[in-house]
Structure 1
Amino acid sequence: MKRSSRAAGASGYLLRMAGPERTPILNHQLACLLALVAGVLNSVGFVAVAFYTSHMTGVTALIADQIVVGEWYIVAVGVLSVVSFVAGAMTCAIVFNWGRRRELRSRYANVLLLEGALMLVFGLLAEELTGDGRELVFVPVLCFTMGLQNAVITKISGARIRTTHVTGMVTDIGIELGKLFYRNRHPEMDRVRGNRRQIALHCMLISLFIVGGVIGATGYLSIGFAILVPGALLLLIVSYQPLLADLGARAEGLL
Structure 2
Amino acid sequence: MLLNYSRRLTGKVRTRSANAELACFLSFVAGAINAGGFLAVQQYTSHMSGIVSHMSDMVALGDVSTLLWGFGALLAFIAGSASTSVIINFARHRYLQSEYALPILIEAGALMFFGLLDGIKWDFDWLWTSLTVATLCYIMGLQNAIITDISQYALRSTHITGTVTDIGIELGKAFYWNRASRQDPSIQPVQSNKKKFKLLLEVLVLFFIGGVIGAYGFKTFGFVFTCAVASILVYLAAGPIIDDIKSLWAVFNEPPVILKQSEDSNQVPTTAEMAEAEELAEVQEQQEEVNERGLSDDEVARPGI
- The normalised TM-score by structure 2 is 0.78
Map of 2:295 onto structure 1: none
Matched, 1:177 2:171: yes
Task: Letter of the 1:206 partner, please give it.
Answer: L
Distance 1:50 1:153 in 2: 26
Q: Which has the higher helix share?
A: 1
Matched, 1:156 2:150: yes
Map of 2:50 onto structure 1: 58
Map of 1:228 onto structure 2: 226
Q: Percent same amino acid among aligned pairs?
A: 38
Gaps of 5+ in 2: 255-305
Matched, 1:107 2:105: no
Distance 1:225 1:75 in 2: 29
Structure whose alpha-carbon radius of gyration is higher = 2
Q: Deviation at 1:81?
A: 0.7
Contact 1:169 1:206 survives alignment (8 Å): yes
Map of 2:116 onto structure 1: 124
Out of 187, 190, 203, the position equivalent to 2:188 is 190
Map of 2:276 onto structure 1: none
Matched, 1:87 2:79: yes
Out of 237, 240, 243, the position equivalent to 1:242 is 240
Map of 2:13 onto structure 1: 21
Distance 1:64 1:169 in 2: 25
Q: Deviation at 1:130?
A: 3.2
Distance 1:126 1:61 in 2: 27
Task: Letter of the 1:25 partner, please give it.
Answer: S
Higher relative contact order (CA 8 A, sep 6+): 1
Map of 2:299 onto structure 1: none
Distance 2:37 2:59 in 1: 22
Map of 2:89 onto structure 1: 97
Q: Deviation at 1:125?
A: 4.3
Contact 1:63 1:74 survives alignment (8 Å): yes
Task: Letter of the 1:204 partner, please give it.
Answer: E
Moved over 3 A (4+): none
Task: Letter of the 1:44 partner, please give it.
Answer: G
Task: Letter of the 1:37 partner, please give it.
Answer: V
Q: Please say which of residues 223-232 and 25-34 is displaced more in the overlay.
A: 223-232
Distance 1:245 1:220 in 2: 33
Q: Deviation at 1:70?
A: 2.2
- The normalised TM-score by structure 1 is 0.93
Map of 1:5 onto structure 2: none
Contact 2:3 2:238 survives alignment (8 Å): no
C-alpha offsets along residues 116-144 of structure 1, whole Å, 9 cap, x if unaligned?
Answer: 11112322343102342121110000000
Out of 15, 34, 39, the position equivalent to 1:42 is 34
